[in-house]
A and B are shown apart, each in its own frame.
Chain A
Amino acid sequence: MPEEYAAFLGCVIPFRIPSIEAATRKVFDKLGVRLRDLPGLSCCPEPITSRIVDYRTYLTLSARNLAIAQKAGLDLVTVCNGCYETLVEAHEALKDEKTRGDVNRLLSELGYRYDGGVKIKHVVEALDEIGVDRIKEHVSKPLRLRAALQYGCHLFRCAEGDDIWKKPNMMKRLTAVTGAEVVEYGLERLCCGYPTMTQRRDFSLEHRLLPKMRRIQGAGADCVVHVCPACIVQFESGLVLLRKFGASFQLPMIHLIELIALSMGVTGEELALDVHRSPVMDLARRLA
């Protein structure tokens, strides 16, 4: 198990929901695992837009980020499903020698080169690798709540022949280690609607988010646990936007790493949980 990882925080976490970054740093610190910031990283780039608009630019920007990680000689850990998707897909595409050669020709003029040697890990994989038992040792305030899980579509991405439930099951185990009870609601695999929000907002709200929220509420969850900041943005905006469909929800939308931090005794104030648009700070105060 590595004692140090390189952090890939992306854009949404540091510049929109920095409480997730704060929680990540505190959790890794408590576990005694170093998280190194790499200088000069850019947007991963964002997996949907960049690939639609210009695939070569997507691949080259991604390869530049991977080349920075390769130089550091560390496994790269992402706390965002989108960044994970982008970097893993680029890494896979760059296994092709010709593709890698084309990308490296341009990168070499900027002083970079990617040889394909970086392991990209979603934070659930990194935490699973560190070990549920090791995390358990640091849980000082077991959480008494019922948690519905929002895995996010990209968490199901896996290598050919691998188990698509491997990472979601890791998320489930890691949620349980905080003391939370995981409640099933049956629509875990339905997309939250984030990618279609800009094209078909009503469809996205009415046919994706609304059915999920109804089931989650019906299952008696106290909060929704996420591992994808885009899902958090969608759910938190949805709490307001769904009023249009006569629905009103007040559930906290919390990232798994924030939940783990709370179970380790970190306070909501230390994490600045009030950056959330859902009542996550209220939840933290209630649990404290």
Chain B
Amino acid sequence: MVELERHAVIPDKLVEAAKRIIEQPNSRFITATCLDEGLKFRILYHFSLGGRRVSLETRVPKEEARVPSISGVVKAAAWIERETSDLFGIAFEWSEHPGELIASAGGFSERPLREPLRSETPAEQCAPIELLLSSGCVQPRTTTVDRRREQAGLPRLDVACTNPKALSEVQEICRRLGLDERVGFDWRTNKLARREK
């Protein structure tokens, strides 16, 4: 039976990891596969390495869909990356764009295997979850209410949306329990990936 190994890598480390595999004796590139997970694409590069099957797996948000190309270190990967790009609309970062592989020949300009963004989070729960993850509080603060608080002589509250340490603890809990992954929260923009209508 063929031994299977799968290694998760962040997109920035993908090329380096592919290079490490392909430079070993008895290694060859087999193919790549792509899965549409709703909010992210999962891209797997499969190698044969001394009788073992080794896969590198990376995930990128669909809204961004940009992945470094390994074709600079694994030339054979160029065709499947082009095909994946045509079918899913993923932008591989080639040093020079090689052009479409099958889309123009097949006469399609849409990306036939790319599905709309979808999350397991019910649409009506997106706003409070986004607020919880970004501020630790489900009610947005407004300047009007801050003014009214002042008028009523209320103290400045020391809570997660005003205390950075408390917020970072709340966010750490959400991160550690995988809530951010489940709902598709992007820490750079502090927003959820929205469902497409």
Residues of A within 8 A of B (CB): 9, 11-12, 14-16, 18-19, 21-22, 25, 37, 39-43, 45-46, 49-50, 52-54, 56-57, 60-61, 64, 106, 110, 198-199, 270-272, 274-275
Contact = CB atoms under 8 A, between A and B. Distances in A.
B160 A37 contact: no
A22 B151 CA distance: 10
Interface of B: 121-122, 124-125, 128-129, 132, 136-142, 145, 148-149, 151-155, 157-161, 163, 165-167, 169-170, 172-174, 176-179, 182-183
In the A-B complex, the 4 residue pairs with the smallest Cβ-Cβ separation, listed nearest first, are A198-B124, A42-B160, A40-B166, A11-B139
B170 A106 contact: no
A209 B103 CA distance: 54
B170 A61 contact: yes
Contact of B166 (A12, A42, A45, A57): A42
Contact of B173 (A57, A198, A274): A57
A11 B145 contact: no
Contacts of A52: 122, 125
Given A42-B159, A49-B138, A275 B177 contact: no
Nearest to A19: B152
Given A12-B138, A41-B159, A53-B129, 4 more contacts: A41-B166, A42-B167, A61-B170, A270-B153
Given A50-B132, A52-B122, A64-B169, A37 B154 contact: no
Nearest to A7: B157
A32 to B, nearest CB: 19
A57 B128 CA distance: 14
B183 A53 contact: yes
B163 A40 contact: yes
Given A18-B149, A110-B173, A11 B137 contact: yes
Which of A45, A54, A57, A270 has its CB near the most chain B CB atoms (within 10 A)? A57
A33 to B, nearest CB: 17
Which of A11, A39, A61, A271 has its CB near the most chain B CB atoms (within 10 A)? A11
Contacts of B178: 54
Contacts of A106: 173, 176-177
Contacts of B140: 15
A9 B138 CA distance: 13
A159 B107 CA distance: 66
Given A46-B128, A198-B124, A275-B145, A40 B173 contact: no
B152 A16 contact: no
Contacts of B159: 14, 40-42
A169 to B, nearest CB: 30
B138 A45 contact: yes
Nearest to B122: A52
Contacts of B161: 11, 15
A18 B172 contact: no
A54 B169 contact: no
Contacts of B163: 39-40
A46 B138 contact: yes
Contact of A43 (B137, B153, B172): B137
